[in-house]
Structure 1
Amino acid sequence: MKLGVYNAILHDRPLPEALKVIADLGLTGIEINTGGFLPATHVPTMDDILVSDTARDDFLGIFEGTGVTIAGLNCNGNPLHPKPEIGDKHAEDIRRSIRLAQRLGQNRVVTMSGLPGGEPGATVTNWVVNAWNSAALDVLDYQWGIAADFWRETDRLAADHGVKVALELHPQNIVFNTADVHKLIDLTGATHVGVELDASHLFWQQMDPVAVVRELGPLIFQAAAKDVRVNTANAALYGVLDNSFRRLTPDENRTNLGGDEWANEWPKNSAWDFVALGRGHDTAYWTEFLRALHDVDPNLLVNIEHEDTSLGRIEGLQVAAQVLKDADAALTESLNPIA
């Protein structure tokens, strides 16, 4: 497998330093953020790269001799948000990322399916998680119509540029499980839209990432290595959809998600947490995860996403990289046993 790091956790340093961190971890790929919720910190010359061969070649030259290559682009955001300052911007970021991928010789862009409002004229998103009543299905019908139009058009753009768009199955998106993936493909006839298999969001939904890989097969275009630990005592009391988040104030360190929307503080007594690989599921599990991905594509890009707040930036990457490399070595050994 091709193992790397999603670069958001390394936005605190210049690209050359980030590449050295990844190389020192014994990994070979960097998935680069190119817009959406986060700025394209490591591609400051994006506008120039899109039109100038010299700018493109200068950027690609940064990677020469580092042992690290680009392992896809990432543009996570909400392209269907009803507020134009968020939805329209994130949608354009996706289109720019597709064009940028072709310019850089890449064929993968990771993003999210997005989530509209619940009705015409809405200004906030509406995530239906349990459509037991007819009104909720009305909302979903409206949202799926918007999603299908956008992704049908985006699929054509991706196909024209030889790029596959991989959707993360993330909460507060219209597509967050296997049934939704099949529905989107059925509605759009998409050939260049599929899935970024991030196991973490499947764990807390009580889905089995290995089973999901087997189900989706060739619809999986890329993967993220991120773990989840379920805190069973808290989950028993609050469930996995607990909303005990705290709103951060303007004078606190907070992440802007577009417009006037911000990430909140994670619940103190959380039902589950994002953790580094191995802190929720052991190496043996990740070996089987890689095995399932290998059966889909032996050259699939698998990139660590570090969001374990109990570990520092480098420490968390070191923990995750060791587990991922050990799992990959175990997989390789099992595929090529010594006679």
Structure 2
Amino acid sequence: MRLGIYNAILHDRSLPEALEVVASLGLTGIEINSGGFLPPVHIPNLDEIIASPRAADAYLAQFAGTDVEIAGLNCNGNPLHPNPAIGHKHAEDIRRSIRAAAALGQTRVVTMSGLPGGEPGATRPNWIVNAWNSGSLDQLDYQMDVAATLWSEIDQLARDHGVKVALELHPQNLVFNPAGIRELVERTGATNIGVELDASHLFWQQMDPVAVIRDLGPLIFHAAAKDIRVNPAAAVYGVLDNRFRRLRDDEDRTSLGGDEWVNEWPTNSSWDFVALGKGHDTAYWTEFLRALHEVDPDMAVNIEHEDVQLGRIEGLEIAAAVLKDADAALSRSLAGVAR
């Protein structure tokens, strides 16, 4: 497998410094954020790269001799948001990322399906968690129609540029499980739309990422190595724990576009993002990599670090050690099978 890091946790330093961190951890790839919810800190000249082969070559020259290569572009956001200040911008970021990926010789762009409002004229996204009533199914039909219009266009653009677009199965998106991606692909006839398999968002939904990988098979284009820990509070509040606090405008907070912001995580939460190994052991991650290997032995698997109890580098060190150990265990077992 090709092991790397999603670069958002390294946005506090320059690209050359980030590449040094990746190499020092014995990893070979860096997934570059290219817009959406986060700014393209390490690739700010996207438009120049798209327009000029010379600019693309100059960007790629920064990787020469580092033993690190680009392992996809990432522009996670909500391209279906009914507020055009968010939705239209994030959709355009996906288009730019596809064109930039092609200019850089890349074949993977990671994003999210997005989530529209529940009916025409809505101003906020509406996530149908459990469609037990007919009205909810009506809303889902409308939302899938909205999604199909955008994703048919994006699929064609991706196909024209030789790029695969990998959708993260992320809650509060229209596509957050295998049924959703299959319906989107069926409605659009997409050939270049598939999945970025981020284990963390499946874990907290009480899904088994290994089972999901084997269910989706070739629809998986890319992967993220990210863990969670389910806490005792889940017994009381459940995994849909919604006790978030709205941050005031005088507090440090992260913009999601328009007038939307990240909220503060619940105290005594039902679950938390943790570094690899703190939620599931190396043996589990070995089987995770094994399932991905069955789909594509050359698949990029990139660490995403969001463990707030660990520093940026500390968390990456812990995660990299577990992921490399899992990869080594997989290699040993495959060699044994080969003999």
Settle same-fold status: TM greater than 0.5: yes
Name the residue aligned to 1:221.
Answer: 221
Displacement, 1:249? 1.4
Name the residue aligned to 2:319.
Answer: 320
Displacement, 1:153? 1.0
Amino acid in the other structure paired with 1:336: A
- The answer (yes or no) to whether the contact 2:227–2:279 under 8 Å persists in 1 is yes
Amino acid in the other structure paired with 1:244: R
Amino acid in the other structure paired with 1:285: Y
1:227-238 to 2 correspondences below 5 Å: 227-231=227-231, 233-238=232-237
Displacement, 1:54? 1.6
Displacement, 1:96? 0.3
Counterpart CA distance in 2 for 1:207 and 1:85 is 34
Displacement, 1:215? 0.5
Name the residue aligned to 2:149.
Answer: 149
- The answer (yes or no) to whether the contact 2:5–2:31 under 8 Å persists in 1 is yes
Name the residue aligned to 1:113.
Answer: 113
- The answer (yes or no) to whether the contact 2:47–2:96 under 8 Å persists in 1 is no
Counterpart CA distance in 2 for 1:52 and 1:135 is 50
Name the residue aligned to 2:88.
Answer: 88
Between 134-143 and 161-170, report the one with greater CA deviation.
134-143
Name the residue aligned to 1:293.
Answer: 292
- The answer (yes or no) to whether the contact 2:203–2:209 under 8 Å persists in 1 is yes
**Equivalent position SS for 1:173:** coil
1:98-120: CA deviation from partner (whole Å, max 9, x where unpaired): 00000000000000000000111
Counterpart CA distance in 2 for 1:141 and 1:242 is 27
Displacement, 1:55? 1.1
**Pair 1:261-2:263 in alignment:** no
1:258-315: CA deviation from partner (whole Å, max 9, x where unpaired): 1010000110111000100000000000000000000000000000000000000000
Name the residue aligned to 2:303.
Answer: 304
**Equivalent position SS for 1:293:** helix
1:12-91 to 2 correspondences below 5 Å: 12-91=12-91
- Aligned CA RMSD, in angstroms, stands at 0.8
**Pair 1:240-2:239 in alignment:** yes
1:190-244: CA deviation from partner (whole Å, max 9, x where unpaired): 000000000000000010100000000000000000001000x200100000110
Amino acid in the other structure paired with 2:329: A
Counterpart CA distance in 1 for 2:201 and 2:2 is 22
Between 245-254 and 100-109, report the one with greater CA deviation.
245-254
Amino acid in the other structure paired with 2:247: L
Counterpart CA distance in 1 for 2:184 and 2:91 is 17
**Equivalent position SS for 1:50:** helix
TM-score by length of 2: 0.99
- Runs (4 or more) in structure 1 with deviation over 4 Å come to none
Name the residue aligned to 1:279.
Answer: 278
1:144-188: CA deviation from partner (whole Å, max 9, x where unpaired): 100111111110110000000000000110000011111111111
**Pair 1:209-2:187 in alignment:** no
In percent, how many aligned pairs have the same letter?
74
How many corresponding residue pairs?
Answer: 338
Displacement, 1:50? 1.1
- The answer (yes or no) to whether the contact 2:46–2:100 under 8 Å persists in 1 is yes
Between 47-56 and 327-336, report the one with greater CA deviation.
47-56
Name the residue aligned to 1:270.
Answer: 269
1:19-62: CA deviation from partner (whole Å, max 9, x where unpaired): 00000000000000000000000012212111112211111000
Counterpart CA distance in 2 for 1:109 and 1:278 is 27
Name the residue aligned to 1:331.
Answer: 330
Displacement, 1:134? 1.1
Counterpart CA distance in 2 for 1:43 and 1:22 is 17
Name the residue aligned to 1:100.
Answer: 100
**Equivalent position SS for 2:309:** coil
**Equivalent position SS for 2:218:** helix
Counterpart CA distance in 1 for 2:101 and 2:135 is 40
Between 134-143 and 285-294, report the one with greater CA deviation.
134-143
Counterpart CA distance in 2 for 1:187 and 1:269 is 41
Name the residue aligned to 1:129.
Answer: 129
Counterpart CA distance in 1 for 2:65 and 2:252 is 36
Displacement, 1:253? 1.5
